[in-house]
Amino acid sequence: MPKCAAEQMEFGRPGRRVIEANFRGGVISSDGGVMLLRQMDRRIGLSAAVAAA
């Protein structure tokens, strides 16, 4: 399988902090983002507004 992504990516240096991402997560789940979206939807009420329309 070809290696299509860099081992690590840097996104800049705001102040003294370095923002970077790497793809060595091992076995992880991507379902955590759905929980974040659910909380935001509950906070702003988007789904309820769409259902009421």
pLDDT in tens, 1-53: 556 555 666 666 767 877 777 767 776 666 777 878 888 898 899 899 999 98
3 in any annotated domain: no
Q: What is the pLDDT of residue 37?
A: 85
**Residue 2 in domain:** no
Please give the pLDDT value at position 3. 60
Query: How many structural domains compose the chain?
Result: 1
Helices (H) and strands (E) in the chain, counts: 2, 2
Question: Helix, strand, or coil here: 47?
Answer: helix
State residue 15's pLDDT score: 77
CA dihedral 36, 38, 41, 42 (to 10 degrees): -110
| Whether the Cβ atoms of residue 5 and residue 23 lie closer than 8 Å to each other | yes
Domain span including residue 19 = 8-52
Amino acid identity, position 49? A
